């Protein structure tokens, strides 16, 4: 996904689950639409130029990913969530 691709907002329920994960700094299994999979600590959600991002910690470093680039995420407390776009 290129930075120039038009952002597709995600479903509000999916956003709420990511927000909960950030509030509790949950270690999520993230699967990206690119096929990449990683375990990362959810840190924060933010908006930049009308695009929503997840800030996460991976191997001690902070990274960010567009929410529409996430295919799914999971954690034992919230189960597996497959992201749907609006």
Q: What is the pLDDT of residues 72-83, one digit of tens each?
A: 999 998 899 999
Task: Using pLDDT thresholds of 50, 70 and 90, give the confidence band for residue 54.
Answer: very high
| Whole-structure pTM value | 0.90
- Strand-strand pairing, 79-82 and 70-75: antiparallel
Whether 4 is covered by a domain: the verdict is no
Whether 16 is covered by a domain: the verdict is no
Q: Which domain holds residue 73?
A: 25-82
Whether 11 is covered by a domain: the verdict is no
Whether 59 is covered by a domain: the verdict is yes
Whether 19 is covered by a domain: the verdict is no
* Span 14-23, average pLDDT: 96
Whether 5 is covered by a domain: the verdict is no
DSSP 13: H
Instruction: Count structural domains, the chain.
Output: 1
Whether 1 is covered by a domain: the verdict is no
């Amino acid at each position: 996904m290129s930075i120039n691709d038009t952002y597709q907002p995600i479903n509000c329920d999916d956003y709420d689950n990511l927000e909960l994960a950030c509030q509790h700094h949950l270690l999520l299994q993230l699967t990206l639409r690119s096929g990449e999979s990683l375990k990362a600590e959810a840190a924060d959600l933010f908006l930049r130029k009308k695009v929503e991002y997840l800030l996460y910690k991976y191997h001690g470093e902070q990274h960010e990913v567009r929410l529409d680039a996430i295919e799914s995420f999971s954690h034992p407390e919230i189960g597996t969530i497959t992201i749907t776009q609006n």
